[in-house]
Amino acid sequence: MNSVEFAIIGAGPAGLAAAALAGEFGLDTMLIDEQGSPGGQIYRAVETARVDSPLGPDYLAGSHLVAAMRAARIEYRPGTTLWHLDPGGPLFLAHAGRTETVFARRVLLATGAIERPVPIPGWTLPGVMTVGAAQILLKSADLIPAGDIVLAGQGPLLYLLAAQLVQAGSPPRAILETTPGANYREALLALRRRWPGLRPLLKGLGSILAVKRAGVRRRCGVRGLRAIGHARLERVVWQGGEIAADHLLLHQGVIPDIQISLALQLRHEWDDGQLCWRPVLDPWGQTSTPSVAVAGDAGGIAGAAAARLSGQLAALDAAMLLGRINGPERDRRAATVRAALAREQALRPFLDRLYRPQRSILAPEEDDTIVCRCEEVTAGAIRRAARLGASGPNQVKAFTRCGMGPCQGRICGPIVGALIADTLGRPIADAGTWRPRAPYKPISVGALADLDAGV
Protein backbone atom coordinates (compact mmCIF):
# COMPACT_ATOMS: atom_id res chain seq x y z
CA MET A 1 0.00 0.00 0.00
CA ASN A 2 1.14 3.49 -0.85
CA SER A 3 2.02 5.43 2.29
CA VAL A 4 2.50 9.16 2.96
CA GLU A 5 3.03 11.28 6.04
CA PHE A 6 0.51 14.00 5.25
CA ALA A 7 -2.62 13.74 3.09
CA ILE A 8 -4.49 16.92 2.19
CA ILE A 9 -8.03 16.73 0.83
CA GLY A 10 -8.92 19.67 -1.40
CA ALA A 11 -6.79 21.95 -3.59
CA GLY A 12 -8.44 25.29 -2.83
CA PRO A 13 -6.57 28.08 -1.03
CA ALA A 14 -6.26 26.16 2.29
CA GLY A 15 -5.08 22.91 0.73
CA LEU A 16 -2.72 24.62 -1.74
CA ALA A 17 -1.06 26.69 0.99
CA ALA A 18 -0.77 23.69 3.32
CA ALA A 19 0.74 21.57 0.55
CA ALA A 20 3.32 24.19 -0.45
CA LEU A 21 4.46 24.67 3.16
CA ALA A 22 4.46 20.92 3.90
CA GLY A 23 6.71 20.52 0.87
CA GLU A 24 9.13 23.10 2.30
CA PHE A 25 9.41 21.04 5.48
CA GLY A 26 10.09 17.91 3.45
CA LEU A 27 6.90 16.21 4.60
CA ASP A 28 5.96 13.30 2.36
CA THR A 29 2.70 14.91 1.20
CA MET A 30 -0.15 13.94 -1.10
CA LEU A 31 -2.65 16.59 -2.23
CA ILE A 32 -5.91 14.97 -3.32
CA ASP A 33 -8.50 16.94 -5.27
CA GLU A 34 -11.71 16.06 -7.06
CA GLN A 35 -11.22 18.63 -9.77
CA GLY A 36 -9.01 18.26 -12.79
CA SER A 37 -7.05 21.43 -12.04
CA PRO A 38 -6.01 23.20 -8.82
CA GLY A 39 -7.62 26.29 -7.26
CA GLY A 40 -10.80 25.04 -5.63
CA GLN A 41 -13.97 26.92 -6.53
CA ILE A 42 -12.65 30.37 -5.69
CA TYR A 43 -9.64 30.11 -8.02
CA ARG A 44 -11.22 27.65 -10.42
CA ALA A 45 -9.37 27.42 -13.75
CA VAL A 46 -7.04 30.22 -12.62
CA GLU A 47 -4.04 28.61 -14.36
CA THR A 48 -5.64 29.14 -17.75
CA ALA A 49 -7.24 32.54 -17.01
CA ARG A 50 -6.11 35.51 -19.07
CA VAL A 51 -5.04 38.82 -17.58
CA ASP A 52 -8.01 40.59 -19.22
CA SER A 53 -10.40 38.32 -17.35
CA PRO A 54 -13.57 40.09 -16.16
CA LEU A 55 -13.07 38.21 -12.89
CA GLY A 56 -10.64 40.78 -11.55
CA PRO A 57 -7.26 40.92 -9.77
CA ASP A 58 -8.31 39.13 -6.54
CA TYR A 59 -9.15 36.07 -8.61
CA LEU A 60 -5.94 36.20 -10.63
CA ALA A 61 -3.94 36.43 -7.37
CA GLY A 62 -4.82 32.78 -6.83
CA SER A 63 -2.33 31.86 -9.53
CA HIS A 64 0.54 32.52 -7.08
CA LEU A 65 -0.87 29.94 -4.68
CA VAL A 66 -1.24 27.41 -7.47
CA ALA A 67 2.30 28.09 -8.72
CA ALA A 68 3.73 27.55 -5.21
CA MET A 69 2.00 24.19 -4.98
CA ARG A 70 3.22 23.20 -8.46
CA ALA A 71 6.79 24.08 -7.44
CA ALA A 72 6.60 22.14 -4.16
CA ARG A 73 7.98 18.62 -3.78
CA ILE A 74 4.65 16.97 -3.10
CA GLU A 75 2.42 14.53 -4.94
CA TYR A 76 -0.63 16.21 -6.50
CA ARG A 77 -3.55 13.94 -7.40
CA PRO A 78 -6.19 15.76 -9.46
CA GLY A 79 -9.45 14.13 -10.52
CA THR A 80 -9.37 11.97 -7.41
CA THR A 81 -12.23 11.48 -4.93
CA LEU A 82 -11.80 10.45 -1.32
CA TRP A 83 -14.72 8.12 -0.63
CA HIS A 84 -13.73 6.59 2.69
CA LEU A 85 -11.23 7.23 5.42
CA ASP A 86 -10.37 5.37 8.58
CA PRO A 87 -8.61 7.81 10.91
CA GLY A 88 -5.20 6.27 11.54
CA GLY A 89 -5.83 3.88 8.67
CA PRO A 90 -6.05 4.07 4.91
CA LEU A 91 -7.70 6.59 2.62
CA PHE A 92 -9.86 5.08 -0.10
CA LEU A 93 -9.46 7.01 -3.33
CA ALA A 94 -11.35 6.71 -6.60
CA HIS A 95 -9.77 7.87 -9.84
CA ALA A 96 -11.06 7.09 -13.32
CA GLY A 97 -13.24 4.26 -12.02
CA ARG A 98 -10.41 2.57 -10.10
CA THR A 99 -9.89 2.41 -6.33
CA GLU A 100 -6.61 2.92 -4.54
CA THR A 101 -5.78 2.86 -0.84
CA VAL A 102 -3.21 5.16 0.66
CA PHE A 103 -2.04 5.16 4.26
CA ALA A 104 -1.50 8.61 5.80
CA ARG A 105 -0.18 9.49 9.25
CA ARG A 106 -2.03 12.81 9.25
CA VAL A 107 -5.00 14.03 7.25
CA LEU A 108 -6.00 17.64 6.59
CA LEU A 109 -9.55 18.20 5.39
CA ALA A 110 -9.58 21.36 3.26
CA THR A 111 -12.90 20.69 1.59
CA GLY A 112 -14.03 24.32 1.57
CA ALA A 113 -17.56 25.62 1.46
CA ILE A 114 -20.78 24.97 -0.38
CA GLU A 115 -23.39 27.58 -1.16
CA ARG A 116 -26.19 27.68 1.35
CA PRO A 117 -29.23 26.05 -0.27
CA VAL A 118 -31.95 28.56 -1.23
CA PRO A 119 -35.19 26.53 -1.09
CA ILE A 120 -37.71 28.94 -2.60
CA PRO A 121 -40.76 27.68 -4.50
CA GLY A 122 -39.61 26.74 -8.01
CA TRP A 123 -35.89 26.49 -7.22
CA THR A 124 -35.68 23.16 -9.07
CA LEU A 125 -36.81 24.69 -12.40
CA PRO A 126 -34.25 24.74 -15.21
CA GLY A 127 -33.13 28.34 -15.48
CA VAL A 128 -32.59 28.61 -11.72
CA MET A 129 -29.07 28.07 -10.43
CA THR A 130 -26.82 29.53 -7.78
CA VAL A 131 -24.76 32.67 -8.27
CA GLY A 132 -21.70 30.52 -7.63
CA ALA A 133 -22.72 28.12 -10.41
CA ALA A 134 -23.02 30.98 -12.89
CA GLN A 135 -19.64 32.30 -11.81
CA ILE A 136 -18.07 28.85 -12.28
CA LEU A 137 -19.48 28.76 -15.83
CA LEU A 138 -17.89 32.15 -16.42
CA LYS A 139 -14.55 31.13 -14.88
CA SER A 140 -14.16 27.70 -16.42
CA ALA A 141 -16.19 27.78 -19.65
CA ASP A 142 -16.40 31.49 -20.63
CA LEU A 143 -20.18 31.00 -20.64
CA ILE A 144 -22.58 33.80 -19.77
CA PRO A 145 -26.34 33.51 -19.26
CA ALA A 146 -28.18 34.84 -22.32
CA GLY A 147 -31.47 36.68 -22.08
CA ASP A 148 -32.95 38.29 -18.97
CA ILE A 149 -30.86 37.60 -15.86
CA VAL A 150 -32.20 38.20 -12.35
CA LEU A 151 -29.96 37.89 -9.28
CA ALA A 152 -31.67 37.34 -5.95
CA GLY A 153 -30.51 36.99 -2.38
CA GLN A 154 -27.60 38.56 -0.58
CA GLY A 155 -23.90 38.27 0.22
CA PRO A 156 -20.67 39.63 -1.27
CA LEU A 157 -20.79 37.17 -4.17
CA LEU A 158 -24.14 38.56 -5.38
CA TYR A 159 -22.74 41.97 -6.30
CA LEU A 160 -19.37 40.55 -7.31
CA LEU A 161 -21.00 38.40 -9.99
CA ALA A 162 -23.35 41.24 -10.97
CA ALA A 163 -20.32 43.49 -11.53
CA GLN A 164 -18.54 40.73 -13.48
CA LEU A 165 -21.63 40.30 -15.70
CA VAL A 166 -21.70 44.06 -16.31
CA GLN A 167 -18.00 43.91 -17.17
CA ALA A 168 -18.63 41.00 -19.53
CA GLY A 169 -21.35 42.94 -21.36
CA SER A 170 -24.42 41.17 -19.92
CA PRO A 171 -25.78 43.32 -17.09
CA PRO A 172 -28.50 41.65 -15.05
CA ARG A 173 -32.05 42.86 -15.62
CA ALA A 174 -32.59 43.17 -11.86
CA ILE A 175 -31.07 42.48 -8.46
CA LEU A 176 -33.49 41.46 -5.73
CA GLU A 177 -31.88 41.90 -2.32
CA THR A 178 -33.39 39.91 0.51
CA THR A 179 -31.40 41.52 3.32
CA PRO A 180 -33.84 42.44 6.12
CA GLY A 181 -33.67 46.12 7.09
CA ALA A 182 -32.78 45.31 10.69
CA ASN A 183 -29.56 43.63 9.53
CA TYR A 184 -28.01 46.96 8.53
CA ARG A 185 -28.15 48.33 12.07
CA GLU A 186 -26.64 45.14 13.49
CA ALA A 187 -23.90 45.20 10.87
CA LEU A 188 -22.99 48.82 11.57
CA LEU A 189 -22.74 48.04 15.29
CA ALA A 190 -20.35 45.20 14.40
CA LEU A 191 -18.21 47.63 12.40
CA ARG A 192 -18.02 49.95 15.39
CA ARG A 193 -16.90 47.10 17.63
CA ARG A 194 -14.26 45.83 15.20
CA TRP A 195 -12.98 47.98 12.34
CA PRO A 196 -11.80 45.77 9.48
CA GLY A 197 -10.03 48.50 7.52
CA LEU A 198 -11.26 50.22 4.39
CA ARG A 199 -9.94 47.88 1.71
CA PRO A 200 -12.50 45.04 1.97
CA LEU A 201 -15.35 47.53 2.37
CA LEU A 202 -14.20 49.47 -0.70
CA LYS A 203 -14.07 46.30 -2.77
CA GLY A 204 -17.70 45.59 -1.91
CA LEU A 205 -18.75 49.17 -2.52
CA GLY A 206 -16.90 49.13 -5.85
CA SER A 207 -18.98 46.18 -7.05
CA ILE A 208 -22.21 47.86 -5.90
CA LEU A 209 -21.30 51.14 -7.62
CA ALA A 210 -20.34 49.40 -10.86
CA VAL A 211 -23.73 47.71 -10.90
CA LYS A 212 -25.57 50.98 -10.10
CA ARG A 213 -23.70 52.85 -12.83
CA ALA A 214 -24.76 50.19 -15.33
CA GLY A 215 -28.37 51.09 -14.53
CA VAL A 216 -29.30 47.71 -13.11
CA ARG A 217 -32.67 47.82 -11.38
CA ARG A 218 -32.43 47.01 -7.65
CA ARG A 219 -35.09 46.08 -5.10
CA CYS A 220 -34.25 45.93 -1.40
CA GLY A 221 -35.92 44.01 1.43
CA VAL A 222 -37.45 41.50 -0.99
CA ARG A 223 -39.61 38.80 0.62
CA GLY A 224 -41.65 35.86 -0.63
CA LEU A 225 -39.38 35.14 -3.59
CA ARG A 226 -40.55 32.44 -6.01
CA ALA A 227 -39.56 31.08 -9.40
CA ILE A 228 -42.46 30.46 -11.76
CA GLY A 229 -42.51 28.55 -15.02
CA HIS A 230 -43.73 25.52 -16.89
CA ALA A 231 -40.82 23.13 -17.61
CA ARG A 232 -38.41 26.07 -17.24
CA LEU A 233 -38.17 29.46 -15.56
CA GLU A 234 -40.44 32.14 -17.04
CA ARG A 235 -40.71 34.77 -14.33
CA VAL A 236 -39.64 35.70 -10.83
CA VAL A 237 -42.28 36.83 -8.36
CA TRP A 238 -41.99 38.44 -4.91
CA GLN A 239 -44.29 40.26 -2.50
CA GLY A 240 -45.33 43.33 -4.46
CA GLY A 241 -43.62 42.64 -7.77
CA GLU A 242 -42.70 40.33 -10.60
CA ILE A 243 -40.37 40.29 -13.57
CA ALA A 244 -39.90 38.10 -16.64
CA ALA A 245 -36.63 36.15 -16.49
CA ASP A 246 -34.68 33.50 -18.37
CA HIS A 247 -32.19 33.03 -15.54
CA LEU A 248 -32.60 33.35 -11.80
CA LEU A 249 -29.31 33.22 -9.92
CA LEU A 250 -29.71 32.64 -6.17
CA HIS A 251 -27.29 33.28 -3.33
CA GLN A 252 -27.50 33.32 0.46
CA GLY A 253 -23.85 33.04 1.37
CA VAL A 254 -21.78 29.91 1.87
CA ILE A 255 -21.53 27.32 4.65
CA PRO A 256 -18.79 24.80 5.52
CA ASP A 257 -18.72 21.54 3.55
CA ILE A 258 -18.88 19.10 6.45
CA GLN A 259 -19.90 15.93 4.64
CA ILE A 260 -16.61 14.14 5.39
CA SER A 261 -16.08 15.58 8.86
CA LEU A 262 -19.61 14.48 9.82
CA ALA A 263 -19.02 11.01 8.37
CA LEU A 264 -15.86 10.77 10.51
CA GLN A 265 -18.03 11.69 13.51
CA LEU A 266 -15.71 14.52 14.45
CA ARG A 267 -17.21 16.75 17.13
CA HIS A 268 -19.26 19.56 15.56
CA GLU A 269 -20.98 22.62 16.96
CA TRP A 270 -23.73 24.92 15.77
CA ASP A 271 -22.42 28.38 14.89
CA ASP A 272 -25.27 30.76 15.64
CA GLY A 273 -23.43 33.73 14.12
CA GLN A 274 -23.04 32.03 10.74
CA LEU A 275 -26.12 29.80 11.07
CA CYS A 276 -24.28 26.60 10.17
CA TRP A 277 -22.59 23.54 11.64
CA ARG A 278 -18.82 23.40 11.83
CA PRO A 279 -16.25 21.02 13.29
CA VAL A 280 -14.79 21.97 16.69
CA LEU A 281 -11.17 22.98 16.09
CA ASP A 282 -8.22 24.13 18.16
CA PRO A 283 -6.16 27.14 16.94
CA TRP A 284 -4.16 24.82 14.62
CA GLY A 285 -7.23 23.23 13.04
CA GLN A 286 -6.90 20.06 15.10
CA THR A 287 -10.24 18.19 15.36
CA SER A 288 -11.56 15.87 18.05
CA THR A 289 -9.80 12.97 16.26
CA PRO A 290 -6.02 13.14 16.83
CA SER A 291 -4.84 12.39 13.28
CA VAL A 292 -7.31 14.69 11.51
CA ALA A 293 -7.23 18.49 11.10
CA VAL A 294 -9.44 20.91 9.18
CA ALA A 295 -8.37 24.14 7.46
CA GLY A 296 -10.14 26.82 5.46
CA ASP A 297 -13.85 27.41 5.07
CA ALA A 298 -14.59 23.77 5.93
CA GLY A 299 -13.94 24.79 9.53
CA GLY A 300 -16.03 27.99 9.48
CA ILE A 301 -16.53 30.66 6.82
CA ALA A 302 -13.76 33.26 6.68
CA GLY A 303 -12.94 33.57 2.96
CA ALA A 304 -10.06 32.68 0.66
CA ALA A 305 -7.30 34.76 2.24
CA ALA A 306 -8.06 33.39 5.71
CA ALA A 307 -8.23 29.88 4.26
CA ARG A 308 -4.70 30.21 2.88
CA LEU A 309 -3.44 31.28 6.31
CA SER A 310 -5.26 28.55 8.23
CA GLY A 311 -3.80 26.04 5.76
CA GLN A 312 -0.34 27.29 6.68
CA LEU A 313 -1.10 26.93 10.40
CA ALA A 314 -2.25 23.34 9.88
CA ALA A 315 0.94 22.58 7.91
CA LEU A 316 3.10 24.07 10.68
CA ASP A 317 1.32 21.88 13.22
CA ALA A 318 1.77 18.83 11.00
CA ALA A 319 5.47 19.61 10.65
CA MET A 320 5.78 19.65 14.44
CA LEU A 321 3.70 16.52 15.04
CA LEU A 322 5.65 14.65 12.35
CA GLY A 323 8.94 15.66 13.92
CA ARG A 324 10.31 18.26 11.47
CA ILE A 325 10.24 21.23 13.84
CA ASN A 326 9.81 21.66 17.57
CA GLY A 327 7.00 23.46 19.36
CA PRO A 328 8.75 26.81 19.84
CA GLU A 329 9.75 26.88 16.17
CA ARG A 330 6.16 26.15 15.14
CA ASP A 331 4.88 28.92 17.40
CA ARG A 332 7.52 31.38 16.20
CA ARG A 333 6.66 30.80 12.54
CA ALA A 334 2.95 30.93 13.28
CA ALA A 335 3.04 34.38 14.87
CA THR A 336 3.02 36.39 11.63
CA VAL A 337 0.45 34.03 10.10
CA ARG A 338 -1.86 34.51 13.07
CA ALA A 339 -1.55 38.29 12.90
CA ALA A 340 -2.51 38.24 9.21
CA LEU A 341 -5.36 35.83 9.95
CA ALA A 342 -6.78 38.16 12.59
CA ARG A 343 -6.79 41.00 10.04
CA GLU A 344 -8.60 38.82 7.47
CA GLN A 345 -11.19 37.74 10.03
CA ALA A 346 -11.99 41.29 11.09
CA LEU A 347 -14.63 41.72 8.38
CA ARG A 348 -16.55 38.56 9.28
CA PRO A 349 -18.73 39.88 12.16
CA PHE A 350 -19.92 42.68 9.83
CA LEU A 351 -20.67 40.32 6.93
CA ASP A 352 -22.28 37.68 9.16
CA ARG A 353 -24.70 40.21 10.64
CA LEU A 354 -25.43 42.04 7.41
CA TYR A 355 -26.10 38.87 5.43
CA ARG A 356 -27.81 36.80 8.11
CA PRO A 357 -30.53 35.01 6.10
CA GLN A 358 -34.23 35.45 6.74
CA ARG A 359 -35.82 32.63 8.69
CA SER A 360 -37.94 31.71 5.64
CA ILE A 361 -34.75 30.97 3.68
CA LEU A 362 -33.53 28.52 6.33
CA ALA A 363 -36.95 26.85 6.71
CA PRO A 364 -39.30 27.35 3.74
CA GLU A 365 -42.78 28.41 4.83
CA GLU A 366 -44.90 26.83 2.10
CA ASP A 367 -45.59 23.11 2.43
CA ASP A 368 -45.28 22.29 -1.27
CA THR A 369 -41.76 23.72 -1.64
CA ILE A 370 -39.29 20.97 -2.54
CA VAL A 371 -36.55 20.52 0.07
CA CYS A 372 -34.77 17.35 -1.09
CA ARG A 373 -34.07 17.95 -4.78
CA CYS A 374 -33.01 14.33 -5.38
CA GLU A 375 -35.99 12.52 -3.88
CA GLU A 376 -38.40 15.44 -4.36
CA VAL A 377 -39.49 15.56 -0.72
CA THR A 378 -41.41 18.69 0.26
CA ALA A 379 -41.27 20.91 3.32
CA GLY A 380 -44.76 19.69 4.23
CA ALA A 381 -43.63 16.05 4.27
CA ILE A 382 -40.75 16.93 6.58
CA ARG A 383 -43.00 18.91 8.93
CA ARG A 384 -45.41 15.94 9.04
CA ALA A 385 -42.55 13.58 9.90
CA ALA A 386 -41.38 15.92 12.66
CA ARG A 387 -44.90 16.10 14.09
CA LEU A 388 -45.11 12.29 13.98
CA GLY A 389 -42.07 12.14 16.24
CA ALA A 390 -39.00 12.31 14.02
CA SER A 391 -36.80 14.48 16.22
CA GLY A 392 -33.73 14.74 13.97
CA PRO A 393 -32.59 14.60 10.34
CA ASN A 394 -31.71 10.90 10.48
CA GLN A 395 -35.23 9.91 11.52
CA VAL A 396 -36.76 12.24 8.93
CA LYS A 397 -34.61 10.47 6.35
CA ALA A 398 -36.01 7.08 7.35
CA PHE A 399 -39.57 8.46 7.34
CA THR A 400 -39.46 10.33 4.01
CA ARG A 401 -36.40 9.30 1.89
CA CYS A 402 -35.24 12.91 2.26
CA GLY A 403 -31.44 12.85 1.90
CA MET A 404 -31.34 9.35 0.37
CA GLY A 405 -30.65 10.47 -3.19
CA PRO A 406 -27.31 10.76 -4.96
CA CYS A 407 -26.31 14.04 -3.28
CA GLN A 408 -26.52 12.19 0.05
CA GLY A 409 -28.23 15.08 1.78
CA ARG A 410 -25.59 17.67 0.94
CA ILE A 411 -28.19 20.15 -0.32
CA CYS A 412 -31.20 19.37 1.89
CA GLY A 413 -29.36 18.75 5.17
CA PRO A 414 -29.32 22.34 6.46
CA ILE A 415 -32.97 22.85 5.42
CA VAL A 416 -34.18 19.67 7.15
CA GLY A 417 -32.57 20.65 10.45
CA ALA A 418 -34.16 24.10 10.37
CA LEU A 419 -37.59 22.69 9.43
CA ILE A 420 -37.54 20.17 12.28
CA ALA A 421 -36.50 22.90 14.71
CA ASP A 422 -39.27 25.20 13.47
CA THR A 423 -41.93 22.50 13.66
CA LEU A 424 -40.98 21.41 17.17
CA GLY A 425 -40.31 24.94 18.42
CA ARG A 426 -36.70 24.15 19.32
CA PRO A 427 -33.32 25.69 18.44
CA ILE A 428 -31.73 24.37 15.22
CA ALA A 429 -28.75 23.19 17.26
CA ASP A 430 -31.03 20.67 19.01
CA ALA A 431 -32.19 19.08 15.75
CA GLY A 432 -28.65 17.83 15.00
CA THR A 433 -27.23 16.71 11.66
CA TRP A 434 -27.15 13.77 9.32
CA ARG A 435 -24.82 10.92 10.05
CA PRO A 436 -23.37 10.47 6.53
CA ARG A 437 -21.56 7.26 5.74
CA ALA A 438 -19.05 6.04 3.19
CA PRO A 439 -18.87 6.10 0.27
CA TYR A 440 -18.73 9.88 0.69
CA LYS A 441 -19.70 10.12 -2.96
CA PRO A 442 -21.52 7.46 -4.97
CA ILE A 443 -19.02 5.12 -6.62
CA SER A 444 -19.59 2.23 -8.98
CA VAL A 445 -19.66 -1.38 -7.84
CA GLY A 446 -16.72 -1.83 -10.21
CA ALA A 447 -14.66 0.69 -8.23
CA LEU A 448 -15.54 -1.14 -5.00
CA ALA A 449 -14.65 -4.53 -6.51
CA ASP A 450 -11.32 -3.04 -7.53
CA LEU A 451 -10.12 -2.76 -3.90
CA ASP A 452 -6.73 -4.26 -3.09
CA ALA A 453 -7.19 -7.72 -1.59
CA GLY A 454 -4.87 -6.74 1.25
CA VAL A 455 -7.15 -4.10 2.78
How far is the first Cα of the chain from the last one, in angstroms, to the nearest whole number? 9
What is the C-alpha separation between 170 and 149, in angstroms, rounded?
8
What is the C-alpha separation between 47 and 67, in angstroms, rounded?
9
Q: Which is nearer to another protein, 347 or 418 (CB)?
A: 418
Span interacting with another protein, options 28-36, 177-185, 296-304, 380-388, rule CB under 8 A: 28-36
CA quadruple 98, 99, 102, 108: dihedral positive or negative? positive
Give me the residues paired with residue 286 across strands.
Answer: 293
Span interacting with another protein, options 46-54, 186-194, 262-270, 357-365, rule CB under 8 A: 46-54
Is residue 153 involved in binding another protein (CB under 8 A)? no
Is residue 197 involved in binding another protein (CB under 8 A)? no
Give me the residues paired with residue 81 across strands.
Answer: 94
What is the C-alpha separation between 207 and 79, in angstroms, rounded?
34
Is residue 344 involved in binding another protein (CB under 8 A)? no
Is residue 138 involved in binding another protein (CB under 8 A)? yes
Q: Which is nearer to another protein, 54 or 180 (CB)?
A: 54
Span interacting with another protein, options 99-107, 198-206, 263-271, 371-379, rule CB under 8 A: 371-379
What number of chain residues touch another protein (CB under 8 A)?
A: 49
Is residue 52 involved in binding another protein (CB under 8 A)? yes
Is residue 89 involved in binding another protein (CB under 8 A)? no
What is the footprint of another protein within residues 113-132 (CB under 8 A)? Answer: 114-115, 123-124, 126-130, 132
Is residue 110 involved in binding another protein (CB under 8 A)? no
6 phi and psi angles, rounded to 5 deg = -135, 120
According to DSSP, residue 47 is labeled G
Q: How far is the CB of 147 from another protein (least distance, A)?
A: 6
What is the footprint of another protein within residues 227-266 (CB under 8 A)? Answer: 231-232, 246, 257
Answer yes or no: are the C-beta atoms of 380 and 386 closer than 8 Å.
no
Is residue 327 involved in binding another protein (CB under 8 A)? no
Residue 107's H or E segment, with its range, is: strand 98-109
* Cα distances (Å, whole numbers) of residue 302 to 1, 91, 199: 37, 28, 16
Q: Which amino acid is at 16?
A: L
Span interacting with another protein, options 182-190, 294-302, 304-312, 404-412, rule CB under 8 A: 404-412
CA-wise closest residue to 435 among 255, 254, 266? 266
Site residues, another protein (CB under 8 A): 34-37, 41, 45, 48, 50, 52, 54, 114-115, 123-124, 126-130, 132-134, 136-138, 140-147, 168-169, 231-232, 246, 257, 373-376, 405-407, 410-411, 442
